[in-house]
Structures are given as C-alpha cells and as structure tokens.
A and B are shown apart, each in its own frame.
Chain A
Amino acid sequence: MVEVSDLVCEDRVHRRLYTESDIFVTEMERIFERTWVFIGHESEVPEPGDYRTTFIGRQPVILSRHTDGHVYVLLNRCMHRGALVCRQEAGNTTVFRCMYHGWMYNTCGALVAVPFPGGYGDDFRREDYGLRMAPRVGSYRGFVFASLQPEGESLEDHLGIARSYMDLIVDAAPAGTLSVRSGVQRYTYPANWKLQIENLLDGYHPNFTHQIAFEISERRRGTSGRKGNTEGSGATARSFGRGHGALHYSAVQRYRWDEAQGATAEYRRAVEHTLGPKRAAEVLGADVQLFVFPNLFFQNARQHFRVIRPVAVDRTEVCAYPYTLDGAPEELGRQQVKGLAWWASAAAFGQPDDLEAFVRCQEGLQVTSAEWVLFARGTHRERLVEGEIIGDVTDEVPQRGFYREWKRRMVDPTKHG
C-alpha cells in the first residue's frame, strides 16, 4: 500500500481515498475501531432492559441499559461459536439468548447460563466468557459514544468545541433533553462514506445541486436555503479540531419560525423561561449544521441528526433520525417529524440529488490521470478565532479539517485514543 501520508495534502486528497478497498479496511481499523464513535441516544433505551443494535465500523454492537441504570455497548457476538446474540433492532429483555446453543447473557454482557454445563471441565469459568464490550463508553447531552480502544483521550476532550454546538442544539429543548423516538429515514448509496461527510459541511453545492428544491420551496413557502449558501452571505464554514466542523447560518436565518402558529409563541416563552432572554435569543436564532467526527451530523433547522455507516469502499448507509424537543409543544415536533421527509427521505426533494452527486464522483474518480480531489477553496481567507478556523460558508474549511484528522489517525494510530 502507498504511504497514507502521501495521499492527503493540506488542500487536496488523492482519489484512492475513495476507490481502494485496502484504504477502507485501514480506515475501519484505525479510525472507527479506535476513536470515539457515536452509538445511539439515551432516550432510545430509557428503561432497564431496553436495548438497540447498531455498529461500530463493521462490527455489530448492542447498546443496552442494564438494571444498574448504566448503558453498556456490547459486541454482538456469542462467545461460543460467534453468532449474533441479538437479531432484533430494538426491544426490552432480561437476557440475550443465543439461538444456536442457548448461551445466555444478561444486559451488561455477563454469561449467566450455559446449557448442559457438564460438557465443560471444572476449569470452565463463566466469567471468562462474558460478551466483549466497548472498554470506554461516554455520554454527552444524551448522546452515547463508545471507543473500542481501552485507553486514550476522554470523550470531553475528543468533542472539544463540538460540545458548545451540541449545547446550542440541545438547549432548544425547554426541558434540556431531546427524545429520539420518531422513526428514521434510512438511505444507502453506492459510493464512499466520506463523500456524504464532505457534502454535509459543504455550503458551496446547494445553489447548484439543490436548485430545484430551492425553487419549489420559494414558490410554496417564500423562503429557501439559497441565499445563505451564497458567497459573502455572512454564513460561515468552520473547523475546530479532531475533524469536527460546522456550517453556521445563524447570521442569515435560512428558515423562519412560523410565527402565525400559536405553538411557536408558546415554545418561545418556554425557552425564554428556562434559559433567560440572552441565551434564549442565541438558541432560538441558531441555525447550525454540526459534524462530530467520524460518524455523527446534526442539522437543527430540520431537527434531526444523521449517523453515517461505512459498509464498503463504495457502499454507505445513513440513518437520519428526527428528534423532538422535550418540553416543547407536541404540535411543533409533529411538524418536524413529518417534514423531514420533504428533504431527507429516499423520495425527497433534497437529499436524492446529493446522492446522485456522490455516485457521479465515485464513477468520475476512476480517472487515473487526474489524481487529486481539491479542497483549496478559501485557503487564502480563512482565519483562526478562539480555536475555530472560520471561512466563508462556501469555503472548504471543514473538509480540510476533516482530512487533517483523517491523516493524523491513519498515519500513526498508536498515538491517538
């Protein structure tokens, strides 16, 4: 394999990052199976015995709420012969019983029963065969992360400035917490996972890729994201270390609150009551898209987050979860849950055009005589402000930040937790 360090420069990355299977395998080992990865939200497993299954990179895991009240991230693999111990997407149980030979584990992974134990010698110790678990699990504002590496940077340090953005998003809930129980938009596309991440933090493409969505939105609602994604709009693209980044549209307010709705006024009062007028104005005026390296993305204007799952070098699955704001009028949440389909479903007016772009990139990147993918936009005008690199919304600041972290982890993974 070519040296990974030669494939990423400050303002460009090599096409092989999108096309080579061996690079994909290394990404799973050195990024997803080492760093903090988003697993799920605490509101998905509120009660003891609640669980839901997901993945860390390629590896199946169970997010489980044990009777001690804590959440555990268990590797979904029977310690006997390797079968998944849980096939359900979500549910409530006291034990995970392997269907193959009946080995039973409790909700923190301890092996509690082995059928016909006489077949094992006296030296067989059940405690040696508990489910493997993620050695580090952490939670911030209800968002649960895990790392498969026993030691390393704390979750708080990993999140860094991303925490203040998560605060901005979660503080919009008058009760201070979000709930994730409104279904999911699941989509897949035949192209590399990094294309989705580059796109979520790309304020340059919307005027072109989403021309139709903007036209329709303007005709129906009198507003769209078009102006916010124009050079010089006042919106900004940002990078703040560890690969995290954001698009910050608060200065341009792409989406207006529907003030005619009684529920909107009621909601505003509730937020002001909780946060006081100054912070409430900041939170209610916030229009941000946040990416938390390596697999979590928020868009607060459309009240959802997405989880990106790389499946193969040219196959990616994404789940977009609408969330509701605890303490806000129910009607506001219902509109958002229903409305997410307009932009982000497989039949939507927005997202399918992005996926078409990814597929065209995946095909175009087969050209070998042009080796580099350019992320040079705005290099000459970015500035550092209080730990954030900030550029025009159309600049490729977040992409450069993402690939700096990608390179750091891919080149020498032993140094980073």
Chain B
Amino acid sequence: MATRPEIEDLLYHEARLLDERRFEEWLDLFTQNARYVMPSGDSEDTGIETPILDDDRLTLEDRVLRLRNPASYAQSPPSRTVHLVQNVQVEPDGPAAVNVHCVLVVYEARLESVRSFAARCFYRLIPEDGGTTWRIAMKRVELVNRDQHLYNLTFLF
C-alpha cells in the first residue's frame, strides 16, 4: 500500500534526476512497457488527435540518446530546467497499482530566454523488484498551453 509521502519522494526524485541531467537514471524509473504521453488537445486517443508525443520505452530511450548527442541542434546549447511538483494526490488501484495526479511547473532556460510551463500530470505506478520499487507504467503530461503554437520542447518534462 503506497503512502503519499512515499510517492512524493519518487516524484521529487524524478524531478531532481531531470534537473541534474541524470537521464539514464530517469529511464530506470520506467517499466519496460512504459508509455509516456503528452496530448495536444483534450482527446484521450492519440490515434484520433495527433499528440505532442506518445512514446513507448524504446522511443523514450531514443530521447535520452538524443539529449546526449552533440548534433542535437535544438538542444545545443542544452536547456537548463527546474521541475516543481505539487498538489500530489494518490489513489491506490487494487494491490498492484497506484494512480497519481499532480501538477508540474517547469522553468526552462536556454540561450537568452527563460520560459515557464505548467501541466497537470497523471501517473500509473506499479510495484517491481519483488514489490520493493514503484515504477512508472504510464506518465501523461497535459500542458495548460498544449493547444497553442509551441516552440522547442526537446527537453524533458
């Protein structure tokens, strides 16, 4: 049974890994079948409404490889980020899953600009490693401005 402090620790840890550019450790937070979605509108179905992204585990790994590659021009120079996680609510879904809702604020600095993004996030966590570790089976990031004209979201939320 997951407690809120336990889940908050996981989310804070995730935010810190991203802000410290420890992307390979960040990948380890996800299950092998994980799905990571950022919708572009209000539909749940990315086959009906084209998403900002809808990644499986391999594509998430590709994103990390890209961030490590100096020929990633949209990340050259790279973004520096601060991820703030707040309003965490935890809903157990049976013994083997937890649904989490939280809000995320990201500050991103690159070149001469600092941009701020706000999002609602939904996670589905499942226990792995004999029940000792919660891993992310699904992460969904709903930007408040997801239906506006966007520019360079090649850093990670």
Chain A nearest CB: distance from B73 CB in Å? Answer: 5
Interface residues of B in 45-76 (CB under 8 A from A): 46-54, 58-59, 62, 65-66, 69, 71-74, 76
Identify the closest chain A residue to B62 (Cβ). A216
Which of B58, B62, B74 is within 8 Å of A353, CB to CB? B74
Which of B41, B46, B72, B148 is within 8 Å of A338, CB to CB? B46
A337 and B153 contact, CB distance less than 8 A = no
Given contacts A187-B151, A212-B66, A346-B150, contact A182 B50 (CB under 8 A): yes
Which of A186, A187, A338, A356 is within 8 Å of B51, CB to CB? A338
Interface residues of A in 317-354 (CB under 8 A from B): 317-318, 322, 333-335, 337-338, 340-342, 345-349, 352-353
User: Is B40 among interface residues, defined by CB-CB distance under 8 A?
Assistant: yes
Chain A nearest CB: distance from B9 CB in Å? Answer: 27
Given contacts A212-B71, A220-B58, contact A347 B43 (CB under 8 A): no
Chain B hits for A334, CB < 8 A: 47-48
- A interface with B by C-beta (< 8 Å): 182-190, 209, 211-212, 216, 220, 317-318, 322, 333-335, 337-338, 340-342, 345-349, 352-353, 355-357
Report the bound CA distance from A209 to B72 in whole Å: 9
The interface size of chain B toward A, counting residues with CB under 8 Å, comes to 32
Chain B hits for A317, CB < 8 A: 149
Q: When each residue 60-104 of chain B gets 1 if its CB lies under 8 Å from chain A and 0 otherwise, what string results?
A: 001001100101111010000000000000000000000000000
A-B contact pairs, 29 of them (CB 8 A): A183-B40, A185-B50, A186-B40, A187-B149, A187-B150, A189-B151, A190-B151, A212-B66, A212-B69, A317-B149, A338-B50, A340-B50, A341-B50, A341-B52, A345-B40, A345-B50, A345-B150, A346-B52, A346-B150, A346-B152, A347-B53, A349-B62, A352-B152, A353-B73, A355-B74, A355-B151, A355-B152, A356-B76, A357-B73
B73 and A356 contact, CB distance less than 8 A = yes
Identify the closest chain A residue to B148 (Cβ). A186
Chain A nearest CB: distance from B140 CB in Å? Answer: 14
Report the bound CA distance from A322 to B69 in whole Å: 29
Chain A hits for B151, CB < 8 A: 187-190, 346, 355
Which of B47, B62, B66 is within 8 Å of A337, CB to CB? B47
Across chains A and B, which 10 residue pairs bring their CB atoms closest together, nearest first?
A: A334-B47, A183-B49, A346-B150, A188-B149, A352-B74, A347-B153, A183-B50, A346-B153, A186-B149, A356-B73
Q: When each residue 86-124 of chain B gets 1 if its CB lies under 8 Å from chain A and 0 otherwise, what string results?
A: 000000000000000000000000000000000000000
Chain A hits for B54, CB < 8 A: 338, 341
Identify the closest chain A residue to B69 (Cβ). A212
User: Is B18 among interface residues, defined by CB-CB distance under 8 A?
Assistant: no
Identify the closest chain A residue to B149 (Cβ). A188
Considering residues B47, B50, B59, B151, which has the most beta carbons from chain A within 10 angstroms of its beta carbon?
A: B50
Chain A hits for B46, CB < 8 A: 337-338, 341
Beyond the given pairs A187-B150, A352-B154, A353-B74, 10 more chain A to chain B contacts, judged by CB atoms under 8 angstroms and listed by A's residue number, are A185-B52, A187-B149, A209-B73, A216-B66, A322-B50, A335-B47, A337-B46, A338-B46, A341-B53, A346-B150
Report the bound CA distance from A347 to B50 in whole Å: 13
Identify the closest chain B residue to A181 (Cβ). B48
Chain A hits for B51, CB < 8 A: 183, 338, 341, 345
